[in-house]
């Protein structure tokens, strides 16, 4: 269970929170700008959700803030509704309510059932989107649209690139990719790139696009605006954000568990994230969720309790209050370089290394999710991936279900069985899992047993059965009984026997038609 003694590790939490805050600053600004809502939205989101999720969430060491996947969703919405910011923040507000509901109905554990190829394709797709979206800012080009459209625009406008922006972007890229590990442990490369790139731009008097003014006052209250005219637009967006943010947060919680050897509370985490996003939307903050890199840094720096997340937010507040004028001069090309590194790090190289040897079905799911993520819709990609994985899994399990027809013979440990009984009795042996995917195999064998006087349906090796398979068994038994065939069903597991009978077989067979081994079934036929 989650422990709440927040002052038990003050020194470690102070170090972890400040370190996570240092990393969060450039990312919050970059994601805010990338989303189309502005740097201040990213910072407010990191502050508000970071603090409230830490207080009310179920993962004490988790640091929350704007992330790549959610920023991509918001950016696509902003591109379509840039003239209506109220709609965007209302959608974020509603997504927070949906997350709270998901936590209250206890669906947090369902994240464990998302297949790895789906997560891999999704994360790699998000990484690719982030990289594609930063090409134009890196080249000093102004553009808003889909990632693919952005790439096309960059190629068409290549002659219009701004050399000064490219120089700053390259400086940022070199720093984030090639900072020595020893130095990176002391100062995050993203922060180094932010400082060096901004100073270089000022000293060289470069005329490039920058973040612009960041308000130093408290954010103003923005009440959500629900109306019949926009509710149909808002709900799908809100559900997408809620589900995606929940998945991202809970995956980060699993990472935190593995690092701290503790166990988070999934449902409480969803409630905490929902409260954070609900409040963030009221003050113009970008939707946020658990951030894996910031959480890992917090833990490695000594963070162990909720206090570390609170300190992280307080640190960001201090930055806004005292250093907003400096942050306003940060070049967009520098942020683009930082985000390209984020995109590269999100790509799932672990799965990429196994492409040649990965099972074909897993590879198909991963590639399909990857392509849909880039070219269409993020939640559609996850939905298609989960459904396809389920279908392929069901087909694989169905292939492992084995139905054999075997006759009965004499052996040393059995009573003598006469030839007439042997010739008129057939055993249908079912091994594996009998469910909707394999139920059709039963129907396909009816003609093979319908001419016998006695049929034993041997379910003693059956591991599980669902209602589709029960109905298929019903059809088999009914067909055989209409042909005056004696049917005995042999079970080994009494729970499976009871559930099968409750689902309908009790209407077709009586107590004498049930056995608990194929041997007992044969003896029943002999004695009848």
Give the rounded percent of residues in the chain with a pLDDT score beyond 90.
25
Measured distance CA(501)–CA(226) in Å, rounded: 51
Per mean pLDDT, which range of 169-183, 211-225, 351-365 is the poorest? 211-225
Residue 418 shares a structural domain with residue 456: yes
Residue 311 shares a structural domain with residue 278: yes
**Which of 333, 366, 391 is a domain's end point?**
391
Residue 273 shares a structural domain with residue 173: yes
Task: Identify the top-confidence range among 146-160, 398-412, 510-524.
Answer: 146-160
Looking at residue 168, what is its pLDDT?
A: 95
Residue 22 shares a structural domain with residue 154: yes
Looking at residue 5, what is its pLDDT?
A: 66
Rounded average pLDDT over 361-376: 89
Residue 374 shares a structural domain with residue 454: no
Residue 201 shares a structural domain with residue 67: yes
What tens digit of pLDDT does each residue of 252-270 get? Answer: 888 788 778 888 899 999 9
Rounded average pLDDT over 146-169: 89
Residue 360 shares a structural domain with residue 476: no
Looking at residue 416, what is its pLDDT?
A: 62
* Residues 271 and 103 sit within 8 Å (Cβ to Cβ): yes
CATH of the domain at 503: 3.30.750.24
Is residue 396 assigned to a domain?
Answer: no
Residue 412 shares a structural domain with residue 371: no
Rounded average pLDDT over 167-187: 90
Is residue 508 assigned to a domain?
Answer: yes
Asked if residue 3 has pLDDT above 70, the reply is: no
Looking at residue 34, what is its pLDDT?
A: 84
Angle at 115 between CA 109 and CA 116, to 5 degrees: 110
Residue 242 shares a structural domain with residue 323: yes
Rounded average pLDDT over 180-198: 86
Q: What burial letters (b/e) apply to 343-377, b meaning 16+ CB within 10 Å?
A: bbebbbeebeeeeeebeebbbbbbbbbbebbbeee
CA dihedral of 335, 336, 340, 341, whole degrees rounded to 10: -30
Is residue 2 assigned to a domain?
Answer: no
Q: Is the dihedral of CA 208, 214, 220, 223 positive or negative?
A: positive
Looking at residue 196, what is its pLDDT?
A: 93
Rounded average pLDDT over 115-140: 86
- Rama region for 140: left / alpha / beta (φ>0; ψ in -120 to 50; rest): left
Is residue 520 assigned to a domain?
Answer: yes
Looking at residue 127, what is its pLDDT?
A: 83
The pTM for the full model equals 0.72
Residue 386 shares a structural domain with residue 487: no
Asked if residue 352 has pLDDT above 80, the reply is: yes
Instruction: Please give the residue range of the domain that contains residue 520.
Output: 402-527
Is residue 246 assigned to a domain?
Answer: yes
What tens digit of pLDDT does each residue of 238-247 get? Answer: 998 998 899 8
Rounded average pLDDT over 110-130: 81
Looking at residue 415, what is its pLDDT?
A: 56
What tens digit of pLDDT does each residue of 31-67 get? Answer: 888 888 888 899 999 999 999 999 999 999 999 999 8
Helical pair 189-203 and 163-178, crossing angle rounded to 10 deg: 150
Measured distance CA(427)–CA(457) in Å, rounded: 6
What tens digit of pLDDT does each residue of 449-468 get? Answer: 888 898 988 888 877 788 88
Looking at residue 320, what is its pLDDT?
A: 83
Domain count, the chain: 2
Give the rounded percent of residues in the chain with a pLDDT score beyond 70.
95
Is residue 397 assigned to a domain?
Answer: no
What tens digit of pLDDT does each residue of 328-339 get? Answer: 888 989 988 988
What mean pLDDT, rounded, does the chain reach?
A: 85
Residue 152 shares a structural domain with residue 278: yes
User: How does residue 288 score in pLDDT terms, banded at 50, 70 and 90?
Assistant: very high
Looking at residue 133, what is its pLDDT?
A: 84
Rounded average pLDDT over 90-101: 95
Residue 375 shares a structural domain with residue 329: yes
Is residue 483 assigned to a domain?
Answer: yes
Asked if residue 412 has pLDDT above 50, the reply is: no
Rounded average pLDDT over 304-310: 94
What tens digit of pLDDT does each residue of 80-90 get? Answer: 887 788 889 99
Is residue 32 assigned to a domain?
Answer: yes
Looking at residue 29, what is its pLDDT?
A: 87
* Selected residue with higher pLDDT from 419 and 156: 156
Reduced to 3 states, what is the DSSP secondary structure of residue 458? Answer: strand
* Selected residue with higher pLDDT from 44 and 501: 44
Looking at residue 314, what is its pLDDT?
A: 95
The CA distances from residue 471 to 246, 400, 486, 497, in Å, are: 38, 20, 19, 14
């Amino acid at each position: 269970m989650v422990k709440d003694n927040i002052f038990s590790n003050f020194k470690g939490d102070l170090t972890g929170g400040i370190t996570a805050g240092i990393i969060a600053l450039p990312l919050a600004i970059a994601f805010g700008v990338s989303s189309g809502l502005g740097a201040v939205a990213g910072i407010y989101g990191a502050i508000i959700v970071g603090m409230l999720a830490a207080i009310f969430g179920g993962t004490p060491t988790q640091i929350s803030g704007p992330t790549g996947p959610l920023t991509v969703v918001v950016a696509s919405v902003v591109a379509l509704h840039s003239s209506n910011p109220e709609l965007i923040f209302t959608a974020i507000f509603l997504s927070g309510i949906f997350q709270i509901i998901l936590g209250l109905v206890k669906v947090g554990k369902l994240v464990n059932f998302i297949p790895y190829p789906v997560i891999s394709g999704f994360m790699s797709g998000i990484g690719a989107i982030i990289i594609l979206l930063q090409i134009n800012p890196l080249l000093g080009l102004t553009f808003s649209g889909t990632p693919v459209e952005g790439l096309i625009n960059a190629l068409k406008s290549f002659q219009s690139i701004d050399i000064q922006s490219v120089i700053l972007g390259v400086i940022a890229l070199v720093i984030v990719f090639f900072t020595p590990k020893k130095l990176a442990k002391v100062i995050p490369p993203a922060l180094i790139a932010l400082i060096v790139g901004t100073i270089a731009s000022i000293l060289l008097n470069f005329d490039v696009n920058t973040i612009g003014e960041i308000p130093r006052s408290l954010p103003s209250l923005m009440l959500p605006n629900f109306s019949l005219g926009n509710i149909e637009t808002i709900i799908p967006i809100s559900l997408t954000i809620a589900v995606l943010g929940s998945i991202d947060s809970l995956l980060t919680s699993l990472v935190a568990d593995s690092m701290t050897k503790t166990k988070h509370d999934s449902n409480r985490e969803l409630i905490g994230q929902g409260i954070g996003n609900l409040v963030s939307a009221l003050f113009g903050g970008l939707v946020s969720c658990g951030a894996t890199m910031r959480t890992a840094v917090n833990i490695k720096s000594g963070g162990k309790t909720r206090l570390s997340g609170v300190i992280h937010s307080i640190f960001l507040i201090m930055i806004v209050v005292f250093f907003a004028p400096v942050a306003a001069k940060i070049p967009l090309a520098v942020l683009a370089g930082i985000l390209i590194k984020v995109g590269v790090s999100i790509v799932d190289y672990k799965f990429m290394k196994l492409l040649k040897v990965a099972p074909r079905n897993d590879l198909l799911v991963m590639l399909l999710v990857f392509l849909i993520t880039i070219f269409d819709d993020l939640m559609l990609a996850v939905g298609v991936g989960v459904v396809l994985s389920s279908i392929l899994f069901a087909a694989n399990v169905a292939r492992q279900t084995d139905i054999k027809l075997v006759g009965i013979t004499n052996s040393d440990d059995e009573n003598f069985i006469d030839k007439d009984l042997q010739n008129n009795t057939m055993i249908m042996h079912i091994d594996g899992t009998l469910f909707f995917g394999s139920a059709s195999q039963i129907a396909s064998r009816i003609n093979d047993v319908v001419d016998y006087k006695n049929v034993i349906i041997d379910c003693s090796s059956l591991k599980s059965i669902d209602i589709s398979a029960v109905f298929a068994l019903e059809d088999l038994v009914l067909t055989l009984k209409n042909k005056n065939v004696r049917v005995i069903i042999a079970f080994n597991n009494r729970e499976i026997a009871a559930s099968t009978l409750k689902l309908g077989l009790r209407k077709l067979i009586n107590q004498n038609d049930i056995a608990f081994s194929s041997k007992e079934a044969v003896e029943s036929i002999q004695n009848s």
